[in-house]
Each structure stands twice: as C-alpha cells, then as structure tokens.
Amino acid sequence: MTRARRLGVRLAVAAAVACAGSGCAVIPVGGPSIVNDAGGGDPLSKPFQRMIATPPQPTWDAEQVVRGLQAAMAAYDDDPATLPLYLTPEARAAWKPTGTVTVIDDAFQVTYADDREADAGEERKVSIKARQIATIGDDDAYVPSPGPAPEKDFTLVKTDKGYRVDKLPDGLLLTSSDVARAYRGTNLYYLNGVSQDRLVVDRVWLRVRPTESFARTIVERLLKEPSAGLRGAVTTGFPPGTKVDSVRVGEEDRVVISLSGPLYLTKPDALMAQLKLSLNKNGMAIGRTIEVQVNGEPFASADRDLDQGWTDNGGNTPFYTDREGALHVLTDDGSGVTVPGAAGQPNPGFRYFALAKQTSGLVAAMTSTGISITTLTQEGRWQQVIQGDPDKLTPPTWHRDGSLWTYDRKNGVVLRYDPQSGRGPERVAAPKLQGLDVTQLRIARDGVRVAVMTGRNTVQVGALTGGAAGYMLANFHLLTTVEVGGEILDIAWGDGEHVLVLVKSKAGQSLREINVGDGETVQLPLKDKLTYLAALGERILAAADTDKGTQILELNQDHQSWTARLEATRPLFPLS
C-alpha cells in the first residue's frame, strides 16, 4: 500500500518578475526564489528545491521586512549569509538559529501593535499570527501540534537603510511549504535493546542539503542517537567514534560506504542490516549491493537478498478468532477449526485471547478471576498466572521475549509475567502512567514500542527502556485524542511504525492508521459497525456487527473495501 501523506504541505513556487527595460529579475517580496535541483542524476540523492533568499530593500515596509525575514529563515541552512542582513548588529549577536523549528501554516498573518509608521531611529512592534502545524526538534523528530501558535513578536527599528529587526525569538520559523520543499521524512533503523535481533524504525525529518547526497545525510544521521521517543530503548551496531568519509556508487552498481573508526570491534551483520534498511526504505540503493569499507579496507557487504527477518512481521501467518470462548485458527479453505487443547474448548467465561510468538505455542485469556495461559497442544491446560478483577486489568499482551503483560488499574501498576521463570508477576516501573486511567496496553512486535489508551479518548505511545537492567515504560508522547462526545473503541499495532485506532464520534465511526513517528494519519474506509481490530503488517482485520451477525472482515489489498471471512467474535494474530 502507498501510504498517503496527511501533513497537508503544499509546494509554493515563487515567480520572478522581470524588471522593466533592464532584463534583471526581481524576487517578489515575502518569498525567496526557488531553484529546482534534481540531485544531478545521482541515484543516491533526493530531488529538492533550493531556496535563494532576498536581502531587505530600503523601500520595504515593516510587514515586507518580516515576511522577507521568514523567507530568509527558510533558506538559512543553504544560505546563512542573507538572514543576518535583516537584523541590527545587536540582534545579530543575540539571535540563535538552533533549537526547535516551528512549522506554521502558509497563510500566516502579520499584525501591528499600532498603525503609525516609525520615524528614523524609532521602533515598531510586529507579530506573526498563524496556525501551528508541528515542531521539528533538535533530535529531528517531527511532532504534530495543530492549533493556534503563540504569537511571534518582532521589534523593528527604522534605519537609514530601511527597517531592521532588533529583537526576535530564537529558532527558525518555517511554513509547511518550506518544510515540504527542504525536508524529507526518513526512516532510520536501530537494534532493539535486549536481544538485538530485530530492527526498530525511528522516523525523523532530515534537511536535504545541496552539498551532499541524501544517502550520506541518512548514514551520518544513523550514526547519531535516535530521536527522544526511542532513547534508552534501542541500540546500534556502530561503535562510538565511527565517521562517514564518503558514500558513492562504485563498480557493478554497488553502493560503497567508506567509514573510519573502531568498526573492527563490532559484528557486521546488524550494522549492515541497519544500513541496508535505512537506505532502501528511503528510496536509496534499492536493488544494489551495499559495500562498507573501513579505513580504506573492505569490511562487509549486504547484497540484494539481505535477510528480512530483521523486520519481518510474518505476513503469511494465519489469523485466529474467538468464538464462544474457544480459539479457532483459519484453515486454507477459509473456515475456522478449533486449536488443540484447553484453548479450543468452549468457555464463555474466557475472552480477550492473546497469542505469543507463533513458535512459543502460548496463548493467554482474560477470565473471571484474572489472566490465565495455556499451550496450543492436546495436553494444554489453563493456568492462572495473574490474579485480579477482570474489569481492572487491561487485556493481556505478549512481548516478543515470551513475557505476558497487563496493566492493573486497581493498583495503578504494570505487571509482567515470565512463563520461563514461573515467578511473578513482577511490577514494571511506569512513572508517566501514574494517575492515568489506563484502559489498554499494547506492545508492538518490535518488542520496544508500547501503545497505551487512557480513558476512552486518548492514545499515547512510549517505549520499553532499561532492557536487561530492568524494564521501564518511558518516553511517552501523545499520539491522538478524540473530541468531547467521541470515544476510542479499540487500538492495534499494524507494525512497529503504525497504530490502528477505531473511533466512534457523533458523525459515526472512523478507522485511522497513524504513524507513531510523525503523526501521519490515513483514514481507512468503513462500511459496517466495527468492534475489534487486529493487524499484521499490511493485513487488517476487524470484527463487525452486520445484518448477518458478528463477522470477521478483512481489508482488501487496495485498502478501499472489506471482505467477510467468517462468523466469529474477535480476530487476532500472534503478538497482536
């Protein structure tokens, strides 16, 4: 599926106006000129439009100067020399371009504190009013923050060369079109923290630079820490001190990455998987062998058939259903048969089944006295492992390490049970969840990210940090919320990058697929009234109340329509 972009960014193209009788080009006030740059045919580059800022003119009024300053901010990374021309010497010394980038709507307004034009040496107060779209942090994370932005206040001084800005907020103020023009949403891949057998995606927004290929930009960013949402939860195959010397296309269509540093200390497999996925998922080096050289000597290579087990979600895995308290598995002919053992025996008191990794053969269910587990074998018998009021425990969820998790709402704690040790359940620290009404807790298949529903109207996403030293749920940020009068019916992880959120509002139901990295949201079509969700990569299932009773529907490959599969109460996949 091609995921549509939600960000609503539009590419604005400023037209040059010819000077009468002189043949020169005058750049329109309030917008820099734009030069198309397709990367010179470099297969490791991304096309982009380079900004050329305009210096302030003596005849410009205060609004024109502020708009010109904002346009110079959009060009600042490519042309840092023009923006200081808008500032007084004092402002030039005080202003800092670093820090959070504020992204506002293209249609911002410039307002005045008063209508009187300033005389020479006098000040004039000007503000930018706009709808804020997002922020881009120092960690390159794109954080949606829709709503009115705090006014940005500027103090201008009238000089003999026209207005100059004497006071302004630190940081860059960019429009959504500026970001669309100069940034690219980019997936980086890091290793999950404990087992280091799987890659975890970290979505960041990187500036396209005219002086280097985008492939090099990706590799250099990959050598740094992940964004704040994954810090303490993931690791990397690159030792500290690794540097990028060059990224180029070599002989036989090979991408050659030249590094320097202590890479002889690391195992190459994970490192090569990080590079291969980070480049290929962003349109770089697709179909090419990647070769890494260290200090000029061959180090490792990753061919076109790099093992996808690093991110594979098990797309051919059959799905399971709950019917009258018995677990069924879908057969090749499209019907469902009961699984072996106790889990396949009807028991109306059992609900919210959850499957561990397929190789473990473990299944959990909510009962009238807590949570029990069994094996999918003829000898399997239910064993209660977590005791509690089922109305005060969230539905069970499995970690890929084989442990079972739930949130105890009565005591306000996260519980983890490890079947291998047989001890427990143990409490897991989650300080950011203290005092919240946690109604769902879902661990992603990457074993790192966690989605939490609070009440019936908010979803947050965090990460499991700490690893072998002791898990902790941390790094939470808001993913989505619904308006007053609406409620969230169910959530499910599709992969480690997307959460499905089923919402009921006054207008009806909606099904949202949300990228946890930058908030990109795709609205999926609905026909029947849905109740429960399950997903595995591109496969999306839902239970629906239809005129034929409760049925399991599957979203077709075009993601435009649904097909009824069989009658059942609730669908589920392993680790869903």
DSSP 177-199: HHHHHHEEEEEEEEEETTT--SE
Cβ count within 10 A of residue 486: 17
Distances (CA, A) of 563 to 179, 455, 495: 39, 31, 22
Q: Which residue has the tokens 């946690």?
A: 438
**Partners of residue 462 on adjacent β-strands:** 450
* Least confident among 23-32, 59-68, 505-514: 23-32
Q: Residue 12 above 70 pLDDT?
A: no
**Residue 71: enclosing H or E segment and its boundaries?**
helix 62-74
Q: Report the pLDDT value the prediction gives residue 113, as an integer from 0 to 100.
A: 84
Q: Residue 181 above 50 pLDDT?
A: yes
pLDDT per residue as tens digits for the range 465-507: 986 668 899 999 999 999 888 999 999 999 889 999 999 998 8
Q: Residue 436 above 80 pLDDT?
A: yes
Whether the full predicted model's pTM is greater than 0.85, yes or no, is yes
* Least confident among 87-91, 194-198, 460-464: 194-198
Task: Determine contact, residues 136/89, Cβ cutoff 8 Å.
Answer: no
Q: Which residue has the tokens 């001084």?
A: 157
- Indicate the Cα dihedral angle 532, 192, 310, 274, nearest 10°: 130
Domains and CATH numbers, the chain: 17-181 (3.10.450)
Compute the mean pLDDT over every residue in the chain, rounded to the nearest whole number. 88
Pairwise CA distance, residues 83 & 72, whole Å: 5
**Residue 218: enclosing H or E segment and its boundaries?**
helix 214-222
Q: Report the pLDDT value the prediction gives residue 308, as an integer from 0 to 100.
A: 64
Task: Determine contact, residues 278/222, Cβ cutoff 8 Å.
Answer: yes
Task: Determine contact, residues 188/117, Cβ cutoff 8 Å.
Answer: no
Pairwise CA distance, residues 170 & 353, whole Å: 52
Query: Once rounded to an integer, what is the mean pLDDT over residues 299-314?
Result: 73
Three-class SS state of 148 = strand
**Please, which pLDDT band fits residue 26 given cuts at 50, 70 and 90?**
very low
Q: Which residue has the tokens 């120092």?
A: 138
Phi-psi group of 228: left, alpha or beta (phi > 0 → left; psi -120 to 50 → alpha; rest → beta): alpha
Query: Once rounded to an integer, what is the mean pLDDT over residues 218-231?
Result: 97
Selection from 557, 531, 526 nearest residue 545 by Cα: 531
CB-based contacts of 251, cutoff 8 Å, min separation 6: none
- For the packed helices 214-222 and 268-280, what is the interaxial angle rounded to 10 degrees? 140
**Main-chain dihedrals φ then ψ at residue 172, nearest 5 degrees:** -95, 140
The more confidently predicted of residues 560 and 118 is: 560
Three-class SS state of 221 = helix
Q: Which two tokens stand for residue 333?
A: 């002919």
Selection from 532, 535, 572 nearest residue 555 by Cα: 535
Distances (CA, A) of 445 to 365, 449, 491, 495: 19, 8, 14, 7
Query: Once rounded to an integer, what is the mean pLDDT over residues 321-333?
Result: 89
pLDDT per residue as tens digits for the range 135-159: 999 999 999 987 777 889 999 999 9
Q: Which two tokens stand for residue 382?
A: 């239910």
Query: Once rounded to an integer, what is the mean pLDDT over residues 14-25?
Result: 26
Q: Report the pLDDT value the prediction gives residue 2, as an integer from 0 to 100.
A: 41
